[in-house]
A and B are shown apart, each in its own frame.
Chain A
Amino acid sequence: GQQVMQIPQYQHVQEGEDFTTYCNSSTTLSNIQWYKQRPGGHPVFLIQLVKSGEVKKQKRLTFQFGEAKKNSSLHITATQTTDVGTYFCAGLNTGGFKTIFGAGTRLFVKA
């Protein structure tokens, strides 16, 4: 079945350093979404990418969707302690209702 792999599982950074998490699907996706889950909280939607090669920015966050619509990345520039949490990608399979989540990347930021 469809799988969405996300790496790394954990990342420790010093405040001010950059951070990137990568997401790869075994099949072509209709779209990819990114969510952030703060410690003790629930996942909160960040953004959705739909077009091949799409790049979107939200302040220090840059999201990319691959040309083949099978991979994606989230890059955070100059991390802050408020960025702490787990970042999940979630891919919608083509022609379906089923959104498959990656395992998440947990980000730790040291002040």
Chain B
Amino acid sequence: DVKVTQSSRYLVKRTGEKVFLECVQDMDHENMFWYRQDPGLGLRLIYFSYDVKMKEKGDIPEGYSVSREKKERFSLILESASTNQTSMYLCASSLGQGITEAFFGQGTRLTVV
């Protein structure tokens, strides 16, 4: 079974802190994604990566950056956390090469106070 693991299930951070959310997948997938999920808004794409060191902005990249130094790991960085970034963050991966079935991690519920 594909496993996508996010480093934390729950996280509480203070406004202005730099926050790192880590995601690791164990199936050699090419594509990795970061989404945030808010009630009534579904899943909104923040950033995605289709190869090591490659990254593309999604629909809501402002206030976020990402890093993909190794194929299995995709990190989401909140440079200076703000209260409007309180949300559920979901990492996902897909094989690539036309295979788009996405496997999701369990999610990180981030609260910024």
Contact = CB atoms under 8 A, between A and B. Distances in A.
Contacts, number: 55
Chain A interface mostly: strand
A98 B49 CA distance: 10
Interface residues of B, number: 24
B11 interface: no
Interface of A: 1, 6, 9, 31, 33, 35, 41-45, 48, 88, 90, 92, 97-104
Chain B interface mostly: strand
Interface stretch (B20-28, B62-70, B99-107): B99-107
Contacts of A6: 42
B48 A100 contact: no
Contact of A104 (B31, B42, B102): B42
Given A1-B59, A42-B107, A100-B45, A9 B101 contact: no
B46 to A, nearest CB: 12
B90 interface: yes
B90 A42 contact: yes
B43 A43 contact: yes
B34 interface: no
A26 B101 CA distance: 21
Nearest to B42: A103
A100 B35 CA distance: 10
A88 B42 CA distance: 8
Contact of A9 (B35, B40, B90): B40
Given A43-B90, A97-B48, A33 B101 contact: yes
A48 B43 contact: no
Interface string B87-113: 000101000000011111111000000
A87 to B, nearest CB: 11
Contacts of B48: 97-98
B102 A45 contact: yes
A42 B105 contact: yes
Q: Which 10 A-B pairs have the closest CB atoms?
A: A103-B42, A101-B43, A42-B104, A45-B101, A104-B42, A101-B42, A43-B104, A97-B50, A92-B100, A42-B107
